[in-house]
Amino acid sequence: MSPPTAPTGSTRLNPVSEDGGVEEDDKNTMRLVEGISHPSRAEDVQDLHRLQKSSTKPRQDDAGQVASLSETLRSSARTVGPKVVRGEQGKNVPIAKKLESQRTGFMAAMSDSGLKPTVVYHNLTPAELYEKALQHEPGTSITSAGALATLSGAKTGRSPRDKRVVREPNSENDIWWNQEKNGSPNFEMDERTFLLNRERAVDYLNMLDRLYVFDGYAGWDPEARIKIRVVCARAYHALFMYNMLIRPTDQELLNFGQPDFTILNAGAFPVNRYTSYMSSSTSVDVSLKAKEMVILGTQYAGEMKKGIFTVMHYLMPKRGILSLHSGCNVGKNDDVTLFFGLSGTGKTTLSTDKARPLIGDDEHCWGDNGVFNIEGGCYAKCINLKRQNEPEIWGAIKFGTVLENVVFDENTREVDFDNNAVTENTRASYPIHYIDNARIPCVGPHPKNLILLCCDAFGVLPPVSKLTKEQAMYHFISGYTAKVAGTEQGITEPEATFSACFGGAFLLWHPMKYASMLAEKMDQHGTNAWLVNTGWTGGRYGVGSRFKLKHTRSIINAIHSGELNQAEYNSTPIFDLRVPTSISEVPVSMLNPEAQWSDKQEFQDTLRHLAELYTSNFGKYASGGGFVSKDLAERIVTAGPHLLQNGSK
């Protein structure tokens, strides 16, 4: 007799004995797995992919929004923009059927001929932008931390000599135009040349198979914010601006309407070198009349961020709001501090404080209601980034963050932040809420303290000094720090660097305009100003040593606690800076720079040399530019270093 077979639809797991029973040893382990049928709910693979994605908040695009996008993509030589419809390119499905069955986060813009549709992805989420970048942009990867690592092409930094501002009647008398050795960053171009570059950019963008549009805001104060539209060819650029602008709610996006300012980023396409005013294959053009910025010949994302900042530097002062290149945090008593400083001064490190929520790390405005951040994110340098030194920035590098031009292990995808093989200017862009103690909304009351940071590599300035209003204006306009050997090729000795208002590359008005507004607001709100040196003591770079970070933090804490408002002060030679005689947890000997030098004559010579550099630089601004009275201009100059003809004080 044959042994029985297992029932149909089940799997035999244990042996069956000759008499049809289960062998004794296996009685306790016998199991039958029933075959269960799970019929597919999809008709085909395409339908299966459709079922995979649900939409609790389907995107909505009304007729006004569609028309607005069409107008943005209109070239200057044509009277109407391209036809814009919803849908996806390349599928033989009527548009009406697509609208019935698909959640669409994109729009298809038809070229003028109507034969070549171009997909325009509008305000996609980070996850969607990751997918597009990985699909279409070589050199894009996901790091082990979840960030999107990408490359900006040949340009790994801004191109300030290629920036142009259109000279036109409505604004030309406001702009601080570049003239020989006046320090202005504003090189002019005419309206016709701007239109030529715009036409080139728009035609290039309309040729592409896909575009990305992001609509967002600049400015956290609802009364002062402006609507920004970014049109670009790379998902990386769209994600970057998703991080850096203030992201609209669904309702705000639906009601967005026409933007107040538009960036047309055709950075992968070069400028025509034979066009007037061009100095290279790169051009970054701003037209205040057209309310547009055109980018050609550079894919560096920072051009967009700083382009918006430049525009805010023009628009906000016209409204009586002071725009500032600064970090900002707030204490438990709602006391706000603004931190000014060039690269290497410690602005990011010192403004990021666990005990004081961060309002912003780089761009702010000071208006009638207090301060507000311009941006919705941070753009941090990450060369030599260490978790123990900057834990907040380290923790912000995760899914949604853009890592620009970093080097990573090709197998593990772990980033080597010490590696500068691509550039020294590696960057991380992330939304501000990625910082654990960020203050959202990013607004605060009027500042109680202004901290002007410098890194004096000559080793002659004190670690902290309290400034008069005129001294604050002088040092704000000067924007001093020093480069040291190793920071740039060819630098072997300390080299003074001055950047007006600590952000000279982004100013449109004369520096005195911003300084006079700063002084007025300091007077109105009783704000204190401090010059803090994070550089060297006991000798210049290579001889002395840099101030310890713990001592600088103690100085900042003494400012915030009010200790330095009660301190006694001595004055320094030549610069006439008021230095406290003592500070908690700071060695008294550190407060007197001259006492730290073994060669007193060398100290005096170095101090005079730095004073001469200050005086020479400030000569560009001494007239006041018509923004302050002659009397105040003279008082500001007098607040600087005092040198007699023989070089002594």
Distance CA 77, CA 112 (A): 12
At residue 62, the 3 state secondary structure works out as coil
At residue 55, the 3 state secondary structure works out as coil
Distance CA 580, CA 567 (A): 6
| Residue (of 154, 63, 57, 66) closest to 110 by Cα position | 66
Report how far Cα 323 is from the mean position of its chain's Cα atoms. Answer: 15
As given in the structure block, the two tokens for residue 33 are 């797995």
Based on the residue annotation, tell me whether 343 is a catalytic residue of this protein: yes
Residue 152 contacts residue 270 (beta carbons within 8 Å): no
Based on the residue annotation, tell me whether 446 is a catalytic residue of this protein: no
Distance CA 518, CA 511 (A): 11
Q: Which of 163, 313, 325, 475 is catalytic?
A: 325
| Residue (of 490, 520, 494) closest to 628 by Cα position | 520
CB burial of 47-81 (b: ≥16 within 10 Å; e: otherwise) equals eeeeeeeeeeeebebeeebbebbbebbebeeeeeb
At residue 225, the 3 state secondary structure works out as coil
Based on the residue annotation, tell me whether 156 is a catalytic residue of this protein: no
Q: Which of 348, 352, 401, 429 is catalytic?
A: 348
The tokens 């609790």 sit on which residue?
56
In Å, how far are 71, 73, 479, 498 from 83, measured between CA atoms?
10, 10, 49, 50
SS3 per residue for 439-461 = CCCCEECCEEEEEEEECCCCCCC
Q: Which of 347, 356, 446, 578 is catalytic?
A: 347
Q: Which of 122, 200, 306, 313 is catalytic?
A: 306
Based on the residue annotation, tell me whether 352 is a catalytic residue of this protein: no
As given in the structure block, the two tokens for residue 243 are 């991080």
Q: Which of 158, 225, 227, 247 is catalytic?
A: 158
Helices (H), 111-168: 126-136
Residue 444 contacts residue 330 (beta carbons within 8 Å): yes
The tokens 């297992």 sit on which residue?
6
Residue 480 contacts residue 496 (beta carbons within 8 Å): yes
Q: Which of 198, 427, 510, 540 is catalytic?
A: 427
The tokens 């720090």 sit on which residue?
481
Q: Which of 337, 362, 426, 608 is catalytic?
A: 362
Handedness of CA 190, 191, 192, 195 (dihedral sign): positive
DSSP annotation string for 281-318: S-EEEEETTTTEEEEES---THHHHHHHHHHHHHHHHH
Based on the residue annotation, tell me whether 50 is a catalytic residue of this protein: no
Residue 31 contacts residue 22 (beta carbons within 8 Å): no
Q: Which of 75, 141, 343, 623 is catalytic?
A: 343
Based on the residue annotation, tell me whether 348 is a catalytic residue of this protein: yes
Q: Any idea which residues carry the catalytic annotation? A: 158, 306, 325, 343, 347-348, 362, 427
